[in-house]
Amino acid sequence: MKKSLTLLFMLIITAALLVACGPKREETTPTSTDEKETETEAESTEEPAKPEKLVVWEDTDKSIALEPAIASFEKEYGIKVEFKELGMADKMRDQLRLDGPSGTGADVVTLPHDQIGQVVTEGLLQEIEVSDEVLSTFSESAVTAQKYNGKLYGLPKATETPVFIYNKALMPEAPETMDEVYTFANDFTDGKKFGFLAKWDDFYFAHGVIAGMGGYVFQENDGALDRDDIGLNNEGAIAGAEYIQKWYAEGLFPKGIIGDSGGSAKDGLFNEGKVASVMDGPWAFQGMKDAGIDIGVAAMPTLPNGEHMKTFMGVKGWHVSAFTEHKYWSTKLVEWLTNEENAKIRFELTQEIPPVTSLIEDPIIADNEGAKAVALQSQYAVPMPNIPEMAEVWGPAASALQTLATGKAEPKAAMDDALKTIQTNIETNHPN
Amino acid sequence: MTNKTEKIIRLSVSYLILLIAAIIVIYPLLWVLGSSFNPGQSLSGSTMFPENPTFKHYKSLFDTENSNYVLWYLNSMKISLITMVFAVLSVAVTGYAFSRYRFIGRKNGLLTFLVLQMIPNFAALIAIFVLAQRTDLLDTHAGLILIYVGGQIPMNTWLMKGYLDTIPKELDESARMDGAGHLRIFWQIIMPLSKPIIAVVALFSFIAPFGDFILARIMLRSEEKFTMGVGLYELVSKQFGNEFTTFAAGSVLIAIPITILFLSFQKYFISGLTAGGTKG
Amino acid sequence: MDSNVTTKHRKNAGFLSIIPGFGQFYNKQFVKGIIFLVLTVAFFSSFSQTLNWGFWGLITLGEIPILDHSIFLLIDGIIALLVAIIGLGIYAFNIYDAYNNGKKRDEGFLLNSVREQYHNLLDNGFPYLMISPGFLLLIFVVIFPIIFVILLSFTNYDLYHSPPAKLVDWVGIQNYIDIFKLDLWRSTFFGVLGWTIVWTFGATTLQVAIGVFLAVVINQKDLKGKAFFRTILILPWAVPAFVSILIFSGMFNESFGVINTQILSMLGIDAIPWMTEEMWTRLALILIQSWLGFPFIFAMTTGVLQSIPEELYEAANVDGASIFQKFRGITLPMVLYATAPILITQYTFNFNNFNVIFLFNGGGPAIPGQNAGGTDILISWIYQLTMTSGQYGKAAAITMLLSLIVIVVALWQFKRTNSFKEEDMM
């Protein structure tokens, strides 16, 4: 009985310990946040202690351009930088979401700018402070793309926008206007060969036409996008939609390039030399060259109304993770990675075009046909909206375009429908 | 006489039907095989019988300097085999318990197994991810294997139990009379009689990891740990049209081991599946 | 002393074992008691932290944004819950055991010695011992994620309540209410539901019909080359489904796919708009799913056919039954009866067959004025609705609703097919 009494005693102690644990945490938490806040304050005022290492997540196959930059950074500041390659489209964001909070994430990441709004809302990135001197080295639109709600969340690394790519064997020179392209295509297209192809059932590419004719996604007011002012069914947008429909209705675009799997069909045709020209992004250059096509690249031809296509511009940027403990040095690294020297190295090694103004004049870009075309087209391009509401636009817009392409809907009705759906979706999924 | 003509008509109609069915089944597969030998890269340019067949896509997959395919293939084999072994073991044991013993929670357990396989779980991927992270199993093959084995249990236990129910219980009882223990009865009497259903379970649990890309994509981080499903999917999601023929070659290589396994197990397979599936 | 007439042992033992092991001590089963006690202490010492944190997290979902990650807390909470349930299970068994042994003493039986207890444990515990490794794995790999989805459906987890920036809160059944209130959802729901039902029944029934039919044809006694045909017909099963579906999506391409450019043109049929006309895409999907799904049914039916007693057919022959009469009267009922449970799971599988819809044409083609694609089934539509705009809580709620529908219908069907008449199952 004695034995059991001692055992009972032990048990009671265990139970008591267990109960005591509950509120203990609440006492400690406020202090820990305080600590964190004071820490960050200290960081911004003076140069904080150097971390042992920083971790960077780079886009797939792009680290060749990162290596020299981090080598020189290490040399300059004595901070070791490690990197890992991750797919940028979705993996980077997903892993930041999961790894960041658990402390295994990177300090510096790269993201396409149209994800910034969403990622910031989720609290995955932090605002960075950079001197105006640094900012002025980049093109204005590229910097705008890195801002959300008026705050800067990164520095631009590279821009891309669709351009006009042609097969020199089939089309000796790039036409100036879409009307010329249209005439050419009418002669050339016979159901097996095509004069000009574009994924205009995909809003990313169609935006060039629709916005060029006068449509817009979100109106910009004082540097912020107004989610309540959508211009997808105004006169210009409908004119653009009509223009798009014409290409499909007259059989210049085959039905086989419509829909999710259509892009690959289009690429395949071009690489077999069956297509004289396409609208595509700079990421497609390499595959085409690999397929043995002698390509020429130019800015998109002007639309029938005389305007340039307002293609969507994508800006990839370097950002500082919200979870880093070394904000100061991460920001320094971002500045370092995007400075003129490293931007130039990046272009040489990966052909990604940095929006560094001094480089656009540099012979290295000015003499490169592809880069020059992208730089030229970028002048007319608009950055994709980076507010989270944009997520509601892609789907309905693509549906409208697809019904236009298949001739199931009239331009006005299709665009009206799309607008209605987008507005309902925004109201439902993005309250306030 | 009429009997004979009737027979001839019946048989020729049957052959015709089977022939058509076989063509429909084979055609897409042959087409993939053909594509993988095409010299070009694209989907639209591929033909079933290329004029200048080439092994270059296979070569490029096996070119270990530029492609991790061989590594992925070995990973897939390893993962699938280990999953198979553990799944068979745990399914056999669980199925045996459900078939031979009456214990509290048996019926509910069985019902649970049935219901579990009907819930679509892609919304739960984040939960699996965090669990793996908490247990340090992220980016390990061990973690992935555990998930695969767990996922194989419900459906296959059901099949296993159904099959074991068809083995007369008297066998166990007479063995018990002779003084055989639980394990011995299970291992030396029941298991040898269950070869057909074991073949079925083995096959199922081998195929599932081989074809999966969703779980593996979430669990595995480093490229050298990828499985073939993930590798192949990444290839497709990036540039399906441009790399179609390479993708086709990769697919052919995925299908080969499974087909061989299928054909070699076929004898057991049909009888095992029948008894297992029907009595449950 | 054990065989005394005073009979309060069961209550005493049961009561004492509120502290694990003590009931066993009372019953003088010291080894067992110590095991229980040690287990309990070990349980608390190793899990007290997990439990304490877990439950706190589960209830509050965190209190301070950025520091507390609601979703991680939720997951830790579920782990704590599972650990606690396992612990309670052992605890309940401890009381049950003490009570039972006390009862035995009350009834004047001698209690088992340690050795006997060991044997007893082996005998009675053997099934538990056997299922526990698999079951544990199942709990953490399958059941745990499902609990997560269930709990998630009662939270407001969406883009604007995303950790780490914000906390997620419990909102009760708000998600379920919203689903039925939102125009976005209601306007398209019935159209999608209609096609989902057509799809589930069309695709599944066709794949079953083809599977059964081919199995019957091949099973004719005087047919030669059985092994050859069987081998070929089982092949679609061997290729991973995602590979096959992607290849079909290439083959069905309207302008360049082989189906239009070679097969149909060879037959003199004009190109069919497989990917851009709703009806044709649906047809293509049903055909593809049949191709993918029939081998399984085929293999199973083949087995059943071999087990149908020959006498049945001979009797029918005597009665002068035709082939079709024999099929309808004997074969089909036998096959359907035998495979009913598996058939039901085939239907439930297709109801939620996300892969084939998503990989073939992304749910397309688009339909004017609708926010679901022409071939979107409920699960693929919901996936896009909720995932593009980060409505995770709602996605979970809808997943639960869909699962509930499927499970209820399936269980009801199972009951009907009598495959659950438990005890005569063997």
Three-state SS across chain B? Answer: CHHHHHHHHHHHHHHHHHHHHHHHHHHHHHHHHHHHCCCCCCCCCCCCCCCCCCCHHHHHHHCCCCCCHHHHHHHHHHHHHHHHHHHHHHHHHHHHHHHHCCCCCHHHHHHHHHHHCCCCCHHHHHHHHHHHHHCCCCCCHHHHHHHHHHHHHHHHHHHHHHHHHCCCHHHHHHHHHCCCCHHHHHHHHHHHHCHHHHHHHHHHHHHHHHHCCHHHHHHCCCHHHCCHHHHHHHHHHHHCCCCHHHHHHHHHHHHHHHHHHHHHHHHHHHHHHHHHHHHC
**Strand, helix or coil for residue A275:** strand
Contact (CB, 8 A) for C361 and C253: no
Query: What type of residue sits at position B264?
Result: S
**Tell me, what's the pLDDT at B18?**
93
CB A62: neighbour CB atoms within 10 A? 19
A254–C255 C-beta distance less than 8 A:
yes
Kindly state the tokens that stand for B241: 């049209």
- How many domains is chain A built from? 2
The listed range with the strongest mean pLDDT (B54-58, B84-88, C141-145, C169-173) is B84-88
**Tell me, what's the pLDDT at C418?**
59
User: Rounded to a whole number, what is the distance in Å from the CA of C368 to chain A's nearest CA?
Assistant: 6
Q: What are the phi and psi torsion angles at A148 (to 5°)?
A: -140, 130
CB C105: neighbour CB atoms within 10 A? 24
Residue C417 carries which DSSP code? T
**Strand, helix or coil for residue A218:** strand
Task: Please write the tens of the pLDDT for every residue from A62-97.
Answer: 888 899 999 999 998 989 999 988 877 677 887 888
Spell out which residues of chain C touch residue A262, defining contact as CB-CB under 8 Å: 253, 275
Which residue range(s) make up the domain with A356?
A: 49-160+314-383
Q: Please, which residues 335-364 of chain C have a Cβ atom closer than 8 Å to chain A?
A: 361-362, 364
Spell out which residues of chain C touch residue A36, defining contact as CB-CB under 8 Å: 67
Pair A201, A279 in one domain: yes
Indicate the burial class of B125 (C-beta count within 10 angstroms; 0-12, 13-18, 19 or more): middle
Residue A293: pLDDT over 50: yes
CB C368: neighbour CB atoms within 10 A? 17
Spell out which residues of chain C touch residue A18, defining contact as CB-CB under 8 Å: 44, 48, 51-52
Concatenated DSSP letters of A406-418: TTSS-HHHHHHHH
Contact (CB, 8 A) for A209 and A218: no
Higher pLDDT pick, C343 / A203: A203
Structural domain contains residue A111:
yes
Spell out which residues of chain A touch residue B41, defining contact as CB-CB under 8 Å: 268, 271, 291
Residue C277 carries which DSSP code? S
User: Rounded to a whole number, what is the distance in Å from the CA of B63 to chain C's nearest CA?
Assistant: 22
B117–C145 C-beta distance less than 8 A:
no
Indicate the burial class of C416 (C-beta count within 10 angstroms; 0-12, 13-18, 19 or more): exposed
Cβ contacts from A onto B, under 8 A: 47
Pair A121, A247 in one domain: no
CA-based nearest residue in chain B for residue A92: B221
Confidence bin at B86 (pLDDT 50/70/90): very high
> How many whole angstroms separate alpha carbon B252 and alpha carbon B248?
6
Q: What number of CA atoms fall less than 13 Å from residue C53's CA on the CB side? A: 14
Could you read off the pLDDT tens digit of each residue along chain C, which spans 426 residues?
Answer: 444 456 678 888 888 878 888 888 888 788 888 888 888 888 888 888 888 888 888 888 877 777 788 888 888 888 888 888 888 888 888 888 888 888 888 877 776 677 777 777 767 777 777 888 888 888 888 888 888 889 989 998 888 888 888 888 899 888 888 888 877 677 777 888 899 999 999 999 999 999 999 999 988 888 888 888 888 888 888 788 888 888 888 888 888 788 888 888 888 888 888 888 889 999 999 999 999 999 988 888 887 787 777 888 888 888 888 888 888 888 888 888 777 777 888 888 898 888 889 888 888 788 777 778 889 998 888 777 777 777 888 888 888 888 888 888 888 887 776 554 544 343
| Pick from C235, C241, C299: CB nearest B29 | C235
**Tell me, what's the pLDDT at A33?**
39
Please indicate if any CB of chain C lies within 8 Å of the CB of A202. no
Contact (CB, 8 A) for A245 and A258: no
Pair A177, A225 in one domain: yes
3-state helix, strand, coil in chain B (%, to 5): 80, 0, 20
Q: Which of A395, A397, A388 is nearest to A431 (CA)?
A: A388
Least confident span in A82-86, A415-419, B122-126, B174-178: B122-126
Indicate the burial class of C42 (C-beta count within 10 angstroms; 0-12, 13-18, 19 or more): exposed
Q: Which residues have CB under 8 Å from B121's CB, separation 6+?
A: C142, C145, C146, C149
Q: Taking the alpha carbons of C356, C362, C368, C370 in that order, is the dihedral positive or negative? A: positive
ipTM score of the complex? 0.81
Q: What number of CA atoms fall less than 13 Å from residue A358's CA on the CB side? A: 11
What mean pLDDT is predicted for residues B31-46? Answer: 74
Query: What type of residue sits at position B26?
Result: I
**Locus of tokens 């087209």:** A377
**Strand, helix or coil for residue C4:** coil
Domain B68-279 has CATH 1.10.3720.10: yes
Spell out which residues of chain A touch residue B240, defining contact as CB-CB under 8 Å: 261, 264
Please indicate if any CB of chain A lies within 8 Å of the CB of C110. no
Please indicate if any CB of chain A lies within 8 Å of the CB of C236. no
Query: Chains touching chain A at 3 or more Cβ pairs under 8 angstroms?
Result: B, C
CATH number at residue A138: 3.40.190.10
Q: What number of CA atoms fall less than 13 Å from residue A35's CA on the CB side? A: 7
Q: In what order do the strands lie in the sheet with A194-197?
A: A194-197, A275-280, A163-167, A295-298
**Tell me, what's the pLDDT at A98?**
77
Structural domain contains residue A38:
no
Which residues lie across from A196 on neighbouring strands? A277
CA distances from B71 to B222, B223, B259 (A): 12, 10, 21
Contact (CB, 8 A) for C341 and C148: no
Task: Please write the tens of the pLDDT for every residue from B89-135.
Answer: 999 999 888 888 887 778 888 778 878 777 776 667 777 877 887 78
**Tell me, what's the pLDDT at B42?**
66
Confidence bin at B270 (pLDDT 50/70/90): low
Kindly state the tokens that stand for A54: 């920083």
Pair A70, A151 in one domain: yes
Question: Would you kindly state where each structural domain of chain B is located, as residue ranges?
Answer: 2-56, 68-279
Q: Which of A286, A29, A12 is nearest to A165 (CA)?
A: A286
Contact (CB, 8 A) for C161 and C169: yes
| Pick from B15, B48, B278: CB nearest C338 | B278
Confidence bin at B273 (pLDDT 50/70/90): low
> How many whole angstroms separate alpha carbon B58 and alpha carbon B249?
6
Confidence bin at A180 (pLDDT 50/70/90): very high
What mean pLDDT is predicted for residues B189-212? Answer: 85
Contact (CB, 8 A) for C33 and C24: yes
Give the architecture-level CATH label for domain C174-425.
Orthogonal Bundle (1.10)
Concatenated DSSP letters of C76-89: HHHHHHHHHHHHHH
Q: Which residues have CB under 8 Å from A229's CB, separation 6+?
A: A218, A219, A221
CA distances from C88 to C18, C31, C36, C40, C94 (A): 11, 21, 12, 10, 10
* Mean per-residue pLDDT over chain A, rounded: 84
Contact (CB, 8 A) for A259 and C361: yes
Q: Taking the alpha carbons of A317, A321, A324, A328 in that order, is the dihedral positive or negative? A: positive
B100–C127 C-beta distance less than 8 A:
yes
Structural domain contains residue A127:
yes
Spell out which residues of chain A touch residue C74, defining contact as CB-CB under 8 Å: none
Q: What angle do CA A232, A235, A237 make, to 5 degrees?
A: 35
> How many whole angstroms separate alpha carbon A41 and alpha carbon A39?
5
| Pick from A98, A102, A267: CB nearest B242 | A267
Q: Which of A143, A397, A170 is nearest to A277 (CA)?
A: A170
Distance of CA B227 to the CA centre of its chain: 15
Q: What number of CA atoms fall less than 13 Å from residue A182's CA on the CB side? A: 12
Q: What are the phi and psi torsion angles at A302 (to 5°)?
A: -75, 150
Q: Please, which residues 154-173 of chain C have a Cβ atom closer than 8 Å to chain A?
A: 158-160, 162-166
**Region of residue A150 (left: phi > 0; alpha: psi -120 to 50; beta: else):** left
**Strand, helix or coil for residue A277:** strand
Kindly state the tokens that stand for C286: 């049903």
Spell out which residues of chain C touch residue A431, defining contact as CB-CB under 8 Å: 160
B239–A287 C-beta distance less than 8 A:
yes
> How many whole angstroms separate alpha carbon A232 and alpha carbon B172?
75
**Strand, helix or coil for residue B169:** helix
Q: Which residues have CB under 8 Å from B16's CB, separation 6+?
A: none
Question: Would you kindly state where each structural domain of chain C is located, as residue ranges?
Answer: 9-161, 174-425
CA distances from C93 to B111, C46, C97 (A): 22, 20, 6
Query: What type of residue sits at position A272?
Result: E
Q: Taking the alpha carbons of C302, C305, C310, C314 in that order, is the dihedral positive or negative? A: negative
> How many whole angstroms separate alpha carbon B209 and alpha carbon B202?
12
Residue B81: pLDDT over 90: yes
C371–A399 C-beta distance less than 8 A:
yes
Q: Which of B253, B248, B228 is nearest to B38 (CA)?
A: B248
